[in-house]
């Protein structure tokens, strides 16, 4: 297991700075300063910009569609655009007001804040002239306003998102990447991979207790008694082996089929997806062969004492031989599972680092929950 963790660590070296990505701190700025800024301001800015963009993306209609859609669809578009405007004014604007200690990010923040003020004085103010529930006689005016406003809101959100992301200390891309079609594709692939691997980790956590009961303790018992196991103890172990073949293996193959997985990750995971079910099947067949051999020895015992004593010796030798091989194979299966369980958390950290900086609400938020 330790060897697997060391080899995995070589593939996924630990970041040298804040645990999320390697960054370069400007003079006079400490890692603690960046941690506070990242938790209280920068990550919420990114989430706010992305949330507004996703919400507005649901109503990005052509001007022709806006002018000719049904009143019901128009009111749905109007409701979402107003929601975006409220988020930009009440959530995004305060986040953009906090200065950054990183010169590049501070310049991007200032430009974004200025653009947001200009947008507030024009587009957001114009949107407020109409009520949330638009009366029928004002629908044509709202249609015209939406034709102008949606494009301006979308352009601002795209430019601001690209600027803020490109100047984030963790970023290795320029603004063009975050404004390209490749970025949302990379993001979606990384999110799918992260969620699927998270489900795999949850499954492994659930079977951890069964691993101890049906592999570790039974292996020790087989080695101690040197007999081929039978009865309820072995039947429970068989059920666990079947669960690995029918439950774990499909989950590993599901991850292998995702587009976001990298080649060296695929190599590691593919080994587990092949070896674990293969070893489980071999163990089942080995037990079956051992029981048949033992039954045959017992049924063919001779009549005289010498033959019976020889049969006992043969039977003991059979149990010893097969039990040693079974114990060794069960230890191999257990080692594969432990190595996989050690690999998954490290892999999840690596996936998190490349999820285009769109971080989940997690422990970061609990640290800075009361900080705005």
Burial of 322 (0-12, 13-18, 19+ CB in 10 A): buried
Q: Looking at the structure, do residues 135 and 211 belong to the same domain, yes or no? A: no
**Which of the residues in the chain have pLDDT under 50?**
1-17, 19-20, 356-372
How far apart are the C-alpha atoms of 206 and 200, rounded to whole Å?
A: 10
Shared domain for 293 and 198, answered yes or no, is yes
Q: Is the domain of 37 the same as that of 100?
A: yes
Residue 251 domain-assigned (yes or no): yes
Measured between alpha carbons, how far is 5 from 340 in angstroms, rounded to an integer?
A: 9
CB distance 166 to 218 below 8 Å: no
- pLDDT the model gives residue 359: 40
CATH of the domain at 222: 1.20.120
Question: How buried is residue 70: exposed, middle or buried, by Cβ count under 10 Å (0-12/13-18/19+)?
Answer: exposed
pLDDT in tens, 272-281: 999 999 999 9
Query: What does the DSSP assignment read for 98-159?
Result: S--SSHHHHHHHHHHHHHHHHHIIIIIHHHHTS-SS--GGGHHHHHHHHHHHHHHHHHHHHH
Q: Are residues 241 and 335 both part of a single domain?
A: yes
Residue partners of 167: CB distance under 8 A and separation at least 6: 102, 104, 105, 107, 108
Tally of structural domains, the chain? 2
- The verdict on 159 and 269 lying in the same domain is no
| Domain contains 68 | yes
- Specify whether 162 is located in the same domain as 36: yes
- b/e map 340-349, b = 16+ CB within 10 Å: bbbbbebbbe
Which is nearest to 15 in space by CA: 358, 357, 350, 254?
A: 350
Same domain, 118 and 250: no
**Assigned domain for 122 exists:** yes
Domain that holds residue 39: 9-21+30-171
Q: Residues 155, 56: one domain?
A: yes
pLDDT of residue 1: 44
| Whether 57 and 119 share a structural domain | yes
pLDDT at residue 184, as a whole number: 62
Provide the b/e sequence for 13-44 (b: ≥16 CB within 10 Å): eeeebbebbebeeeeebeeeebbbbbbbbbbb
What pLDDT score does 232 carry? Answer: 87
Q: How many angstroms separate the first and last alpha carbons of the chain?
A: 43
- Measured in whole angstroms, how far is the alpha carbon of residue 201 from the centre of its chain? 9
| Spatial contact of 153 and 146, defined as CB atoms under 8 Å apart | no
């Amino acid at each position: 297991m330790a060897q697997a963790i060391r080899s995995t660590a070589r593939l996924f070296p630990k970041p040298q700075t804040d645990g999320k990505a390697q960054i370069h701190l400007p003079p006079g700025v400490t890692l603690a300063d960046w941690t506070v800024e990242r938790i209280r301001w920068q990550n919420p800015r990114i989430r706010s910009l992305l949330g507004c963009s996703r919400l507005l993306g649901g109503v990005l209609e052509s001007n022709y569609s806006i002018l000719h859609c049904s009143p019901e669809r128009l009111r749905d578009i109007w409701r979402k655009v107003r929601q975006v405007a409220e988020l930009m004014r009440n959530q995004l604007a305060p986040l953009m007001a906090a200065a950054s200690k990183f010169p590049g990010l501070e310049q991007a923040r200032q430009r974004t804040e200025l653009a947001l003020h200009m947008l507030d004085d024009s587009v957001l103010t114009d949107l407020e002239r109409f009520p949330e529930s638009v009366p029928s006689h004002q629908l044509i005016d709202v249609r015209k306003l939406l034709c102008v406003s949606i494009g301006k809101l979308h352009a601002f959100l795209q430019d601001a998102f690209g600027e803020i992301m490109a100047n984030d200390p963790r970023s290795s891309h320029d603004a063009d990447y975050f404004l390209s079609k490749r970025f949302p594709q990379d993001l979606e692939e990384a999110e799918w991979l992260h969620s699927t691997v998270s489900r795999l980790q949850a499954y492994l956590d659930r079977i951890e207790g069964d691993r101890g009961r049906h592999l570790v303790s039974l292996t020790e018992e087989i080695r101690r008694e040197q007999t081929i196991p039978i009865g309820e103890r072995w039947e429970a172990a068989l059920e666990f082996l079947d669960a690995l073949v029918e439950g774990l293996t499909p989950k590993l193959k599901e991850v292998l089929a995702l587009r976001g997985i990298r080649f060296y990750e695929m190599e590691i995971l593919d080994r587990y997806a092949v070896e674990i079910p293969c070893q489980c099947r071999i163990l089942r067949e080995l037990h079956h062969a051992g029981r048949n051999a033992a039954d045959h020895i017992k049924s063919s015992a001779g009549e005289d004492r010498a033959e019976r004593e020889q049969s006992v010796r043969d039977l003991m030798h059979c149990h010893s031989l097969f039990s040693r091989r079974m114990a060794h194979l069960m230890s191999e299966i257990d080692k594969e599972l432990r190595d996989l369980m050690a690999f998954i958390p490290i892999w999840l950290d690596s996936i998190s680092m490349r999820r285009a900086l769109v971080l989940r609400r997690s422990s970061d938020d609990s640290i800075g929950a009361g900080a705005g």
